[in-house]
Amino acid sequence: MTIAEAALATGLTAYTLRYYEQIGLIDPVPRRGGQRVYGETEMRFIHFVLKLRGTGMSMRDIQEYVRLRRLGETPESIRSRGDLLARHAAYLREQLVDLTDTIVRLDEKIALYRSIYPENSSCGSGLGRDGCSPQAPIAAEAAPTRAAEPASTADTPSKRRKHA
């Protein structure tokens, strides 16, 4: 498969595939007549890398995984790869707990809003725009106040460059 076909199959750009190869995120792709030829093995590994990226694994950790993989099936390589993936899985489990807690809180808020404004209400869904007022004050809405923390603009998502 050509680089254009591989890009289409992965959702990446041809530039990103070349970049991943250049920085060692994927192994050098075999060439035929100077053109990259992506086989099943290369595509399977690219999809694995994308799964790791999708979980938030850093490029540096993926590069380390690839470096260890290139060492072969030595006991040290296997143990180190397993340790790296185990650390990341533990991080993901912590994130899952946090996300689950957040979903529980969101479900509580949704239930609160629906109890105040039933879906069949003649008031509609706009709060205060159509003249309807809540049946009771929303005490659970109040959030604790915190002192404002200075925002760092260098690390905001809009300031960071991502490569798919």
Q: Could you give the angle at the alpha carbon of 48 between the alpha carbons of 47 and 52, nearest 5°? A: 115
Neighbours of 80 (CB within 10 A): 17
**51 lies in a domain?**
yes
Tens of pLDDT, residue by residue over 18-69, are 999 999 899 899 999 999 999 999 999 999 999 999 999 999 999 999 999 9
- Domain of 46, in residue numbers: 3-121
Q: How would residue 140 be classed by pLDDT, with cut points 50, 70 and 90?
A: very low
**pTM, to two decimals:** 0.63
- Is 57 among the domain residues? yes
Is pLDDT above 80 for 142?
A: no
Residue 81 lies inside a defined structural domain of this protein: yes
* Within a domain: 143: no
**CATH code of the domain containing 61:** 1.10.1660.10
Confirm whether 126 is domain-assigned: no
Give the three-state DSSP class for 79: helix
